[in-house]
Structure 1
Amino acid sequence: MEKAAVLGAGVMGAQIAAHLANAGIPVVLLDIVPPDTPAEADATARSRLALSALEKLHKMKPAPFFLAGHAARIRAGNFEDHLEWLRDADWIIEAVTENLAIKRALYEKIEPFRKPGSLITSNTSGIPIASLAEGRSEDFRRNFLGTHFFNPPRYMYLVELIRTPDTDPEASCFASKLCDELLGKGIVYANDRPNFIANRIGIYGFMRTIQVMMEMGLSITEVDKMTGPAIGRPNSATFRTGDLSGLDTTVAVAQTVYESIPEDECRALFVPPDFIRQMVERRWVGDKAGQGFYKRVQTEAGREIYELDYRTMEYRPQPKVNFPSLEEAKRISDPRERLRFLINGKDTVGQFLWSVIGDALVYTANRIPEITDDLVQVDRAMRWGYNWELGPFETWDALGVAETVKRLEADGKPIPPLVTDLLSSGKTSFYDKEGTQTVVFVPAKKTHEPVGDRVGVILLKSVKERTGVIRKNAGASLIDLGDGVACLEFHTKMNALGTDTIQMIQFAIKEVAQNFVGLVVGNQGENFSAGANLMMMLMGAQEGEWDELNHAIRTFQNTVMSLRYSPKPTVVAPFGLTLGGGCEMTLHGDRVRAAAESYIGLVEVGVGLLPAGGGTKEMLVRCADRARGTEADLMVFVKEAFQNIMLAKTSTSAEEARELGYLRPTDGITMNRDRLIADAKQTVLALALEGYRQPAMRTDIPALGESGLAVLKLGLHQMLRAGYATEHDVLIGTKVAKVLTGGDLNHPSTVSEQDLLDLEREGFLSLLGERKTQERIQHTLKTGKPLRN
């Protein structure tokens, strides 16, 4: 896979091109010549649509590119002048408008330029794939299939892969491998039915939610309160999601079901109600139009979010929502237990959720084997494409299949044949355990069979079920991954680092030194680690427990350093939020294997502190190593590190983390987060195979001393005079600068890592004793936002 082409520079096409560029692939992005273009126009004017799309990518939020510079990998052109460029493409992705005739005409146009054997896929969200390839050559049809990306392509994990009867299995495997390993996606195999799996079920749920809302006289805000995190769905819930995805798109997907599948038993539901049709006619289609189900309104109190009153078609302030059962449910951490509690309630919440979810479960069960005969594919599609915590069949099990059937029968609802077959087989759940193996109901055989592991993916939950854990406490577990590699897994809230975690790291280093080849530090929570436990530090400072705090910080420093200087190789596998102490652990691995979506940063300055777990020290070490052997002045690199720390810069991707110095050139990046632990394990084994030798602590670190400190302090005072920094910011910055320049040195000299750790600890404790720092910590703990004082 060396080059790719994307046909169609709309929102999806351009973003797919951007993500291919993220993966390091040169991409051709083509679109039509604008109809109003004069015949004598130059190439820039004729390729205006693709060039304009490329410009818009830089302004989009969230950013489609890992780094803005990746845009240079995209070459923009048009369908009239640049089809010749397709001759080099190993993969052509079509993403033009959802119109069968337009797509077919384009395929006819490009086929003479397509390289034989190259993969060609359509990103259609609903048009049957087989119908698109009708009339094309045998080679075209053998290498053609659907690859349905979800929006935005960089961030949404799901890609639905749809084969036709003519698709070569080898082409299908190639497409799956590209999407999985190259682009980092979760692959679901769908039958060639309109809207495939995720949108078929998701749009049903959306339309049914609207119907029940209107029947019960609920508001849009009330529905979003009930259909968000409370039931294991995203914060954007129902209608905020609708605004993000675009109501016009949603209505078009619903229309596809209505027109293409007349035999659907719920066909009438896919006809939008009057207020939805009016919204589309008025272009109130969501964020891209500035208003949809919600609208930002400037009031005397500032900008406020108003909701649409669908009865009057006017926007109004959001009503206060008070459902006691939702508040009570917040205390239930298990999503299955929480859903059972809410849906079985006798209040408005219970009535609404049963009406929506109960019917959705029936509808989904009736789609088997139409959309797929594999229940796992359905659950993955909804978890990966719609960010549900539980897929439909996992939800059936959570509520109890037999119990749900009794309630459906009491309501006079027909029971899906799939469910009847399950219960008649003597089983009462779609998923089950046979020993340590997860099994799932196979409809065609009316029995349960193993789910099977995804090749190249290690699930820590499954590993623990099979082999147990070596040792665990409230903060972390040490797990045997096999082949002589252990894994240290954090499992606190936000994976915050506390005493239990530190103790388990210390145990892990000793255990691995004696009995293992090496160690992976990683987990499969929502984020790698949000850093140290701020509350414990604040309480200690307020109680005046300075000796205990000094000991705790020294212990943390020594623990972090032991990752670098352990007798066996240590690989840290960060992903998601990797902040503060989590970043410092990452900095001290022998190697890092980072997920592409890793947001790494030393953020301690935001709460009035400095990085004191070796983070400030390590940034100076890396500055020195970058300057060594070059003619560059060390001060240039120290200034850069100082700015990053003072601005609490957090990377927006692993690629940017490398630019910020949090990752080294030798550290690796994994596009597919599900593969991260397996890739980190292989990195450990590779280090061991290369002949790993325990390194010695550094004593040769060049430090600028007083001259460098003066330069950094001058910059701080200039910021103060300009109003960009407070006096407390200057105090914090001075402490950071002192570490980065080696402390009280009259002239440039060399220092040891231990010297710098001592400076870190001294600066951290002195700042923790400051009233304004304590105010910053309290404000952050209370609001989640930084305080500038």
Structure 2
Amino acid sequence: MTRFPVRKVAVLGAGVMGAQIAAHLVNVKVPVVLFDLPAKEGPKNAIVTKAVDGLKKLKPSPLGVPEDAALIQQANYEEHLDLLKDCDLVIEAIAERMDWKLDLYKKIAPSLAPHAIVASNTSGLSITKLSEVLPEEIKPRFCGIHFFNPPRYMYLVELIATPTTQPEVIDQLEAFVTSAVGKGVVRAKDTPNFVANRVGIAGMLATMKEAETFGLSYDVVDDLTGKKLGRASSGTFRTADVVGLDTMAHVIKTLQDNLADDPFFPSYATPAVVTKLIGAGALGQKSGAGFYKKVGKDIQRFDAATGDYVPAGKKADEIVARMLKKAPAERLKLLRESTNPQAQFLWAILRDGFHYAAVHLADIAESAREVDFAMRWGFGTSQGPFELWQQAGWKQVAEWVKADIDAGKALSEAPLPAWVFDGRDGVHTAEGSWSASQGKYIPRSKLPVYARQFFPESLVGDGSVEPLKSGTELFKNDEVRVWTLDNEVVIASITAKLHLISPLVTEGLLKAVEIAEKSYKGVVIWSPDDVFSAGANLEALMPVFMKSGGKGILPEVKKLQDAFLRLRYATVPVVSAMRGIALGGGCEISVHSAKRVAAMETYVGLVEVGVGLIPGGGGLTYIARRAAEMAAAGNANADIFAFLKDGFTNAAMAKVGTSAIESRKLGYILDSDTIVANKDELLYVAITEAKAMYDAGYRAPHKKLFPVAGRNAKATVMGQLANMRDGGFISQHDFHISTLIADVVTGGDVDAGSLVSEEYLMALERKHFCALLDNPKTQERIMGMLQTGKPVRN
């Protein structure tokens, strides 16, 4: 694949979106310069400086680690326009004012590099109108780019071409945004609010209207339209609070100002309650109040009838919650036929969604694929409207929607398009997805960048092969599938719930190594979901523990440790391809691999203290060994304890990296490892890395002894722990667990500099791990976690 070379990106506008786009570019190692107006007083870059400082305080963090804010180059339009000549991509992200944007384009045009792509991050303004002010030589390189907020976490980016945008410019930008920035790209037509906000905001307005019609409170609606419906957990009104009611009103106004001929135009009216809240300064989460507000520890909701806030927390009726657990066809039938107002409400908003998407498909998107992906990636729905419609039975649902339109129950009298009734069973097929504007099925993009995605996200009915049914199967048990895609690298996929590590999992991993060593170039541990591994399966060990106590578990822990050492010393490289959580034993699998390839959103840590245990699969041994290696690399006479302190603290406090970048800072991912921006490229990169290591002559590391910090270092740690205990910062049991961690990582009762083996330290791990299992305080923590999923502090 030939890459579009991006040496540096300029982001124009240091507001909420501009600063966070710059932050994410830093996350993915793209150099960026952030511009804003010169400050009227003090340093000229004061506006940008304040925005960059603000990035370090935001939650969830837009940065992989806060200190990377320093990597954002600061600039202002008065002094630094010459910096634009070194930028291959310029993203304008100032306020949604057409006149302001046009003035800025005139100002920057003379300074742009002759090849630079210029893109406006607008949520709904006409890209074509924006382009009209540009010099003729820039118009072919101008387009729209719409990041969703927050840019680090939201997968969707919409790209919008104008009639004068060169096709190769959009292709280059799509490749860059997909692979380098790590996003899912949807190409949108240049219509108001594009795809996701057009369908999504119309859906939110419909939900608000139907909630009023059926007399439902905001908290009940949010419970109904959250996870129960396969949508974002924040539901509808809480989502509006997070977005900001003023921002939502602005997006609604774009619909009102530009869609007077839309058959759904009456439904674009700003809800009276939104106008009322904005007038009172209640803009949502950013102002401390909106549809909801927090009072002390309590959440209250706005009562439109009284104008006051009242206690929130009402839930959906249980009978309706049970309906939502049914298969799609039965679910929709039950909702439609029920007399329960909550069920009727749900059918109404689903019907409104199907109706709206079908009527507008030809105008807003190339095909139904773009609509469904836009709703998944931009609004957090598990399925887009067309997917659900197709899965529930296209023809039957179409008849139900038509009947409601004819009966005057729908939001608009507009009939469903003729293509809905042409005998089809849906809009997604193996041939492609339906394009209403072109009257045919459109296949997926064939851009070279997508060759890096072996298993891109699929849609219901599109004929995609499931990853765990692909390739050639080499071995399988109930919790691991060992297979290959290319007959060169073995893939081990853990299929157990949360990919918890049990004897069956270790069996599968060992089998993968055995097979690979005979005739393959390496092993990649990868699974097609957002969990690498949540750790050891404690429940699986419960029968043995109940029969024989901690000593009965000892052989099982030894087997686990031996398995991880087998991964470390395999004669072919073992690569952990990580995304999502890699906790406890999942972290230990990865640190015993020859290499880690991690998606940006990978959260790694040793968290066993949360259940009253210490890491037992070699995690503490790894910390001690790494400290010795780092000390030796810096200075043969260096104090090992200086390199050990952070590792001890991370394990004792169960610190988890909140990104792959922070996980690297904690020492669980190394500088030599690879962080991948796009989660769907993870398997491709991991296989490529395994092959490259093998082809470069990979040899497993030598088994060797290494020095430890010794008893004096342990005494120092214990003194600090005692102060924390006596000060009430940790409990007596926390103190006990932490002293056992210190015992392992410092090497136990030995002199500083004593040489030990991994097996020696793992024996200490086993001993302390199994002793803790017999401790009543630890048993309380384990049972609490198994029963509630929350840590017990005792």
- State the partner residue of 1:20: 25
> What is the deviation of 1:750?
0.9
Partner of 2:681: 675
- Give 2:459's aligned residue: none
- Say which of 507, 523, 533 aligns to 1:529: 533
Instruction: Give the counterpart letter for 1:676 in structure 2.
Output: L
Does structure 1 residue 390 correspond to structure 2 residue 383? yes
**Cα 1:87–1:748 shift into 2, 3 Å:** closer
Name the CA distance, whole Å, in 2 between partners of 1:364 and 1:382.
Answer: 11
Could you tell me which residue of structure 1 aligns to residue 452 of structure 2? 456
In 1, distance between residues paired with 2:198 and 2:489? 42
Output the amino acid matched with 1:260.
Answer: N
Match of 2:402 in 1: 409
CA deviation after TM superposition for structure 1 residue 452, in Å: 6.4
Counterparts of 1:438-453 in structure 2, within 5 Å, are: 439-443=432-436, 446=439, 448=441, 450-451=443-444
Per the alignment, residue 3 of structure 2 pairs with: none
- Write the distance in 2 (CA, Å) between the matches of 1:379 and 1:215: 27
The match for 1:735 is 740
Q: Which moved more, 1:317-326 or 1:772-781?
A: 317-326
In the alignment, which residue of structure 2 is the partner of 1:657?
663
> Residue 325 of structure 1 contacts residue 342 of structure 1 at CA under 8 Å; is this kept in 2?
no
SS in 1 for 2:362: coil
Q: Assess if the C-alpha contact under 8 Å between 1:275 and 1:313 holds in 2.
A: no
Q: Map Cα deviations across residues 451-506 of structure 1 (whole Å, 9 max, x no partner).
A: 46732102185444444643433322223222412221223332222233222222
**What residue identity is the alignment partner of 2:404?**
D
SS at match of 1:307: strand
- The answer on whether the counterparts of 1:176 and 1:187 sit within 8 Å (CA) in structure 2 is yes
Match of 1:126 in 2: 124
Deviation at 1:444, TM superposition (A): 5.6
* Residue 365 (str. 1) matches residue 358 (str. 2): yes
Which amino acid is the alignment partner of residue 459 of structure 1?
Answer: F
Residue 373 of structure 2: aligned partner:
380
In 2, Cα distance between equivalents of 1:330 and 1:473: 33
1:87-166 mapped onto 2 (5 Å cutoff): 87-166=85-164
Instruction: Name which of 635, 639, 657 aligns with 1:633.
Output: 639
| Counterpart residue type for residue 323 of structure 1 | D
1:19-74 deviation per Cα after TM superposition (whole angstroms, max 9, x unaligned): 1222223322222245xx3xxx44x1x43322211121111111111122211122
2:549–2:774 CA contact under 8 A, matched in 1 = no
| Maintained 8 Å contact 2:219/2:313 | yes
Q: CA offset at residue 101 of structure 1?
A: 1.1
1:561 pairs with 2:575: no
User: How far has the Cα of 1:371 moved from its partner?
Assistant: 0.9
Q: CA separation of 1:331/1:470 partners in 2, compared to 1, >3 Å: closer, same or farther? A: farther
1:289/1:449 CA distance change after superposition, 3 Å: closer
Deviation per CA, 1:647-672: give whole Å up to 9, x if none. Answer: 11111111111111101221111011
Q: 343-352 vs 622-631, which deviates more? A: 343-352
8 Å CA contact 1:231, 1:335 repeated in 2: no
Inter-partner Cα distance in structure 2 for 1:451 and 1:172: 16
The partner residue of 2:48 within 34, 47, 50 is 50
- How many angstroms does 1:226 deviate by? 0.6
Residue type of the partner of 1:516?
Y
Name the residue aligned to 2:35: 30
One-letter amino acid of the counterpart of residue 455, structure 2: L
Sort the Cα spacing of 1:441 and 1:418 in 2 relative to 1 into closer, same or farther, 3 A.
Answer: farther
Give the Cα separation in 2 of the matches to 1:355 and 1:586.
Answer: 48
- Which of 770, 773, 776 is equivalent to 1:765? 770
Distance in structure 2 (CA, Å) of the matches to 1:553 and 1:727: 26
Query: How far off its partner does 1:218 sit?
Result: 0.3
- Per the TM alignment, residue 363 of structure 1 is displaced from its structure 2 partner at its CA by 0.6
Task: State how 1:37-436 maps to structure 2 within 5 Å.
Answer: 37=40, 41-42=41-42, 44=43, 46-298=44-296, 303-328=297-322, 345-413=338-406, 420-421=418-419, 423-424=421-422, 426-433=423-430
Which letter maps to 2:708?
A
Give the corresponding residue for 2:518: 514
How far does residue 447 in structure 1 lie from its aligned partner after superposition? 5.2
Distance 1:515 1:376 in 2: 41
Correspondence for 2:482 = 478
Separation of aligned partners in 1, 2:414 and 2:543: 57
Question: Residues 656 and 341 from structure 1, CA distance in 2 versus in 1: closer, same or farther, beyond 3 angstroms?
Answer: farther
CA contact (8 A) 1:498 1:532 kept: yes
Gaps of 5+ in 1: none
Separation in 2, partners of 1:127, 1:712: 59
Contact 1:125 1:148 in 2 (8 A): yes
Q: CA deviation at 1:553?
A: 1.4
In 2: Cα distance, 1:55 partner to 1:341 partner: 52
Tell me, in whole angstroms, the C-alpha distance in 1 between the residues paired with 2:21 and 2:329. Answer: 35
Structure 1 counterpart of 2:674, which letter?
Answer: G
Give the Å deviation of 1:343: 6.1
Give the distance between the partners of 1:19 and 1:172, measured in 2 at CA. 21
**Bigger Cα displacement from structure 2, 635-644 vs 774-783:** 774-783
**By how many angstroms is 1:724 displaced?**
1.7
Equivalent residue of 2:35, what SS?
strand
Partner of 2:624: 620
User: RMSD between aligned alpha carbons?
Assistant: 2.3
Identity across matched positions, percent: 37
**Distance in 2 separating the partners of 1:344 and 1:513:** 60
Describe the shift of the 1:539–1:343 C-alpha distance in structure 2 as closer, same or farther (beyond 3 A). farther
Task: State whether residues 25 and 73 of structure 1, in contact with CA within 8 Å, keep that contact through their aligned partners in structure 2.
Answer: no
Would the alpha carbon gap of residues 552 and 322 (structure 1) be closer, same or farther in structure 2, given more than 3 Å must change?
Answer: same
Secondary structure at the residue paired with 1:628? helix
Label 1:542 to 1:326 Cα distance change in 2 as closer, same or farther (>3 A).
farther
Residue 539 to residue 341, structure 1, CA distance change in 2 (3 Å): farther
Please give the alpha-carbon distance, in whole angstroms, between the structure 1 residues aligned to 2:363 and 2:377. 20
**CA offset at residue 308 of structure 1?**
1.0
Give yes or no for contact 1:51–1:76 (8 Å, CA) kept in 2: yes
CA-to-partner distance for each residue in 1:407-457, whole Å, 9 max, x for gaps?
123324499888642542x43122245xxxx74334466555654673210
**What TM-score results when the alignment is normalised by the length of structure 1?**
0.93
